[in-house]
A and B are shown apart, each in its own frame.
Chain A
Amino acid sequence: MPLAHGEKLSTYRIQALPSSHLLKVLGFRKGTQFTIQSKQPFKGPIVVKVGNRSIAIDYDIANEILVEEVVQN
């Protein structure tokens, strides 16, 4: 499922992502886990929390990042 369809406060793991230099240096690789911290109105960016940092990802890019939900217990 595309990250853009994810839900706030759920945790996901990246399955596939577009090749982008900036995504890479911000620490997004296959298998990276994160939690969605906030979603913005009008298809604004999705803010995800990877470790201790918050990263805002444009809606269209988030649409190209495929993720699976990580079920936490």
Chain B
Amino acid sequence: MNCHGDAAAQVKPGNNKMKILLMGNPNVGKSVVFSKLTGVHVDSSNYTGTTVDYTIGDINFGKQQGVMIDVPGTYSLEATSEAEKVAVALLEEGADVVICVLDATHLERNLGLAFELKEYPIPIIYCLNLMDVAERQGIKIDAEKLAEELGSPVIPTVAIKNQGLRELMQTAVKLSKERKDSEPKLDEEEKWNRIKEIVSKVQAQVDKELTFIEKLEDWTIQPWPGIPIAILVLIASLGVVVGGGKALRAVVLLPLVKQVIVPFLTKIISLVIPAGIFRNVLVGEFGILVIGIEWPFALILPYVFLFYVVFSFLEDSGYLPRIGVLADGVLRRIGIQGGNIIPMMLGYGCAVPAILGTRAANTNKERIMVAALVSFAVPCASQSGAFFALLGDKSIFALIFVYLLSILAMLAVGVILDRIIPGKSQPMLLEVPNLLLPDKDAYKKKLKLRMKHFMMDAEGAMFIGIIVAAIIAETGILNEFSKLLGPFVEGWLGLPKEASLSLLLGIIRRELAVLPMLEMNLNTLQLTVGAIVALFYLPCLSVFGVLTKEFSLKTALFIALITIVSAFLFGGLFNQVGRLILGLMG
């Protein structure tokens, strides 16, 4: 996410490049409309001085060129939240036309924002979206009458099926050439009475039998059967990521890397560079090009990719907030609101977007708590990939144990942090979105953006880590370092002294704390100890950077300190106790 907050300001209204603001309540299908109407050139930016991001894309419609800005979704324009402040600021910068997306299934509430927009001197066009869902629910809306009442065009659409979007753009282009005066502000009472009146005129509800989706919507929000369903969904997701990742790795990626790419590189390098230390550093058994391709692409990438495939699907289907509702009672015991389970789940993919995700309307206390928990005990997809590679084949129990431990640790740390961090959590008050099949285009764009970020942030850092590893291994620095840490690593943790390499590299990337152990021939106890240390150990450099940026250097250092201390404490304790037990038995 780059910080060119004034990208929106560069396009002034009035010149021949049209500027469209896309606005609406949260969850009305705005991003789908956006991804259908904009081209390939899409970027997300941070609005200067706030924590809110918005997306901007180019449009080419006939001869008309311009940009469209996906304004953060808001319920009103009273500037009481960061998102609302950004929405107001973008409106005040001016635009040629506003497209206001309305959710046809929740017309009354959506009209609140629609009325507030009329106070600005910008032509408005209403996009009455989710018409298919409304129909399914037996809601009938007379769009023409609604347009009459609102004094602006209303276009019914089904964004995911591309229905009505052409007409929407045509009307928007036409409207952008017109001028509109601002209308006087209505007071609250007046406004809602007027809205009630409009809704009763334009909307009719016919009774319909509950469809399967509506039943599912109801079930997933009841403790029974909602909680069992949630557990099943999580197990199925895990199955897809772990099973699918393993299959991808074994069937496609490992053979590709080991039998095609690496031999090919080795051949080329051997032609150019004579045998010797330099060639070894590049394509030896642990050469930069060998490990540098095998680890990131064959061991890590499949899990990260599948994690985002599953997570983005759950996110776009409207299911995740339901898990938040079900989990709220328990999470509030550790001082955070249920909705935070979403960034925490995202943390199983990568801690960086998870920490950025805590920006959404939480109190500062909750933000720090979630960020700390994610950094502390949630293994990211890269690290999980490394765990699967390390423990998956040797001891499935150790693998399960590590994940259970991570959950227990989160609860324990949550209780402690709740005591020491001042402040309150924000109580839950949220509209549970409808369950919907995600839209293909919007889904693909999201997945692409996430993979792009992963490639840029992670693969680069990992490659650097591997180069550093090769250098310290080849130059003998590692030996010095091992001598220094050796007694501690061997005595307290019971690991071979080369494992200090893991500790050194783990600072750069989380999975690098695990992967070197693959080559060490460890027994099950050692493997588990290694995994425990890696689990709690420092979050990677990028996480450290985000923590510093989002909170402060002090917070980042504090989190780094507790993670290192607990990594050695728990890892060591487990080793000592494990030995004692093994000793007694054997």
User: Taking A25-B112, A51-B106 as contacts, is the C-beta distance between A58 and B429 under 8 angstroms?
Assistant: yes
Expressed in whole angstroms, the Cα–Cα distance for A7 and B9 within the complex equals 52
- Say which residue of A25, A39, A44, A59 sits within 8 Å of B109 (CB atoms): A25
- With both beta carbons as reference points, the residue of chain B lying nearest to A58 in the complex is identified as B427
Q: Chain A residues with Cβ under 8 A from B498's Cβ?
A: none
- Minimum distance in angstroms from B78 CB to a CB of chain A: 7
- With both beta carbons as reference points, the residue of chain A lying nearest to B109 in the complex is identified as A27
Q: Are A61 and B429 in contact (CB under 8 A)?
A: yes
Q: Are A52 and B105 in contact (CB under 8 A)?
A: yes
User: Taking A38-B223, A41-B223, A47-B325 as contacts, is the C-beta distance between A25 and B76 under 8 angstroms?
Assistant: yes
- With both beta carbons as reference points, the residue of chain A lying nearest to B112 in the complex is identified as A25
Q: Chain A residues with Cβ under 8 A from B222's Cβ?
A: 37-38
Q: Chain A residues with Cβ under 8 A from B106's Cβ?
A: 51-53
Q: In which size bucket is the chain B interface?
A: 35 or more
Q: Are A56 and B325 in contact (CB under 8 A)?
A: yes
Q: Are A54 and B328 in contact (CB under 8 A)?
A: no
- Say which residue of A23, A29, A51 sits within 8 Å of B192 (CB atoms): A29
Q: Are B328 and A55 in contact (CB under 8 A)?
A: no
Q: Chain A residues with Cβ under 8 A from B218's Cβ?
A: 37
Complex interface bits, B373-404 against A, C-beta within 8 A gives 1, otherwise 0: 00000000000000000000000000000000
Complex interface bits, A19-60 against B, C-beta within 8 A gives 1, otherwise 0: 011111111010000000111111111010001111111111
Q: Are A44 and B326 in contact (CB under 8 A)?
A: yes
- Minimum distance in angstroms from B268 CB to a CB of chain A: 59
Q: Are B428 and A57 in contact (CB under 8 A)?
A: yes
- Minimum distance in angstroms from B26 CB to a CB of chain A: 11
- With both beta carbons as reference points, the residue of chain B lying nearest to A53 in the complex is identified as B106
- Minimum distance in angstroms from A31 CB to a CB of chain B: 11
B338 interface hit (Cβ, 8 Å)? yes
Q: Are A45 and B428 in contact (CB under 8 A)?
A: yes
Q: Are B223 and A54 in contact (CB under 8 A)?
A: no
Expressed in whole angstroms, the Cα–Cα distance for A61 and B332 within the complex equals 14
- Say which residue of A40, A42, A54 sits within 8 Å of B432 (CB atoms): A54
User: Taking A25-B76, A38-B223 as contacts, is the C-beta distance between A53 and B431 under 8 angstroms?
Assistant: yes
- Say which residue of B105, B137, B139, B329 sits within 8 Å of A40 (CB atoms): B329
Expressed in whole angstroms, the Cα–Cα distance for A73 and B537 within the complex equals 62
Complex interface bits, B68-81 against A, C-beta within 8 A gives 1, otherwise 0: 00000001101010
Q: List 8 A-B contacts (CB under 8 A).
A: A21-B78, A23-B429, A26-B429, A39-B223, A40-B325, A42-B333, A57-B429, A58-B427
Interfacial residues, chain B to chain A (CB-CB below 8 A):
75-76, 78, 80, 105-106, 108-109, 112, 137, 139, 188, 192, 217-218, 221-223, 226, 321, 325-330, 332-333, 337-338, 427-432
Interfacial residues, chain A to chain B (CB-CB below 8 A):
20-27, 29, 37-45, 47, 51-61
